[in-house]
Every structure is written in structure tokens, then in C-alpha cells.
């Protein structure tokens, strides 16, 4: 049932279950969750759907009593699927690599697009940080970092 139709219907139930909740505008989702005693919201937060990170960082932050669960075993493919690994590697999906804050001082330094050829770990780490911290990062941003004319970058490094 469409979310707005559900609100208009006035239907009542013990549970509200919403798949890909991040695709529903937050104001509409807030109205929905306020009407039901128990709610299960599922969504993808990793990858380039464009809304999953925002859902996690903005919507879920409103609910301190939230119980969050993470799916560890894939449903759509076999564990350790070679194709999934290739796609994840190519699109730099590992957004957990920056989970620890740096210690000590921070040094700021410039790097340029040729770093993708010379020291790929550096721009890769910068892109991981961008995609993990900013919920609207897309493959186009990755491409621009690699080949858009006139791109210059500054990065802060832990000393």
C-alpha cells in the first residue's frame, strides 16, 4: 500500500513494516511511525541508492530508543560472491574503514588526480571518507575525482 494511501485510510494494525524506508520522504515516514505501536523499517544504507545514508544519519537519529540491526549475510547472492566483491572494490563500498578518529595532530596537504595512478590508496581513502560521511555521494563523484578537468584536493592527515 502506498504510504500516503495508508495515512488517508486510517488503517490500524499492531505492526507497520516498511521496506526501503529511506525512499519515503521523512515527513511522511514520521507521520506513519507515529500511528503504529510497533514499527519495522528496513533499508539499504550502503551503496549508491542516495537516500540510505541520509536515513541513517538524519531520520534514525531522532529516535534514541531505536534498536538497529545489521544484515551480515547476503540475501541476494552467495557469501563471498566474486562478482559482488569486484563491484564493491570498484565502487569503493567499504565505508567502515574510517570508523576510528585520528589521534594527534592533523597535517593538511594537496593531492592531484595523478595520485590515482601513483598512490591510489590516498584518493581512495578520501573517497571512502566522503561516501561514508556524506549521504549523497555517487559513482559520478568518484568519476569526477578521477578525471574531471581542474580538480584539486586537500586532505587532512593524522600525524
What DSSP string describes 13-56? Answer: -SEEEETTGGGS-HHHHHHHHTT-SEEEE----SSSSSSHHHII
The conformation of residue 67, written as its DSSP 8-state character, comes to: -
Per-domain residue ranges for the chain? 1-71, 88-159
**Residue 95 and residue 134 in contact, taking contact as beta carbons nearer than 8 Å:** no
The conformation of residue 92, written as its DSSP 8-state character, comes to: T
What is the structure's pLDDT at 134? 66
- State which residues of the chain have pLDDT below 70: 46-51, 94-102, 133-136
Give Cα 127 to chain centroid, integer Å.
13
What are the tens digits of pLDDT across the range 11-21?
A: 999 999 999 89
| CATH of region 1-71 | 3.40.50.300
What is the structure's pLDDT at 31? 95
What is the structure's pLDDT at 7? 93
- Tell me the Cα Rg of the chain: 20
What are the tens digits of pLDDT across the range 125-135?
A: 888 888 776 65
What is the structure's pLDDT at 77? 78
In a 13 Å sphere around the CA of 25, the CA atoms on its Cβ side amount to 4
Amino acid at each position: 500500500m502506498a504510504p500516503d494511501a495508508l495515512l488517508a485510510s486510517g488503517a490500524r494494525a499492531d505492526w507497520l513494516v516498511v521496506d526501503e524506508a529511506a525512499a519515503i520522504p521523512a515527513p511522511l515516514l514520521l507521520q506513519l511511525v507515529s500511528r503504529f505501536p510497533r514499527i519495522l523499517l528496513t533499508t539499504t544504507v550502503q551503496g549508491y541508492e542516495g537516500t540510505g545514508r541520509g536515513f541513517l544519519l538524519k531520520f534514525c537519529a531522532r529516535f534514541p530508543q531505536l534498536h538497529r540491526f545489521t544484515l551480515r549475510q547476503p540475501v541476494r547472492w552467495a557469501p563471498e560472491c566474486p562478482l559482488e566483491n569486484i563491484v564493491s572494490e570498484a565502487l569503493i563500498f567499504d565505508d567502515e574503514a574510517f570508523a576510528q578518529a585520528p589521534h594527534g595532530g592533523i597535517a593538511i596537504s594537496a593531492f592531484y588526480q595523478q595520485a590515482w595512478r601513483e598512490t591510489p590508496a590516498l584518493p581512495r581513502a578520501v573517497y571512502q571518507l566522503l561516501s561514508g560521511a556524506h549521504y549523497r555521494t555517487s559513482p559520478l563523484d568518484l568519476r569526477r575525482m578521477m578525471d574531471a578537468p581542474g580538480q584539486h584536493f586537500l586532505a587532512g592527515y593524522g600525524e
